[in-house]
Amino acid sequence: MSELALSVETSPAERDVEALARGLTEHALPVTGRPGFHPLSVFARDREGALVGGVHGQVNWNWLHISLFWVSEDCRHQGLGSRLLAAIETAAVERGCSQAHLDTFSYQAANGGGGTETAEAAVYVVPVSVGATTTLDLLALTA
C-alpha cells in the first residue's frame, strides 16, 4: 500500500469518475439488484429556448440525489421551482426511487429563497411519491 499515490483533483478525468461509478455499481449490484449513477435532469426554457431554470441529479438505486437546482431571478416566485421539483420527483419515482436527497444553504430555503443572510448548510432527505406534496416542495425558490 505504501507505493500508492493519492491525488486531489479539481478536474478529474471523466474515465476516472466513470471507473468509480462502475466499481461501486459492481460492488453494490448483488445487494441492490440494479445499477446506480444515472443522470436525471429537468430544464425550463423560455420561448427563445434560453435556459431559465432546472434541476439536475443522479438516480442511485432507489435514491434521487439532487445536486443542482436553480431558477433565474426573473422567473422566481411564480411556481417554477415547485414545478421543476415535482417533475424530477415524478421521473425519479418512475425509475424506482423512494427517497430523495437535496442539500442547500438555509438562506435559499428560508422564505422561498430569501429573507436571511445566514449561509448555514441544510440537508433534506425525504420520501418521494407521485401526487403528494413533500418536503422538497417547500424548498422551491418560487414559493
pLDDT tens column, 99-131: 888 877 665 554 444 433 444 445 555 555 544
Where residue 137 falls (left for φ over 0; alpha for ψ -120 to 50; beta otherwise) is: alpha
Among the residues of the chain, which ranges form H helices? 14-32, 80-94, 106-109, 135-138
Per-residue pLDDT at 104 = 73
> Percentage of the chain surpassing pLDDT 70?
72
CA 32/CA 36 separation, integer angstroms: 9
Q: Is the pTM for the entire model greater than 0.75?
A: no
Sign of the CA dihedral running 66, 84, 143, 73: positive
The answer, yes or no, to whether residue 136 has pLDDT greater than 70, is no
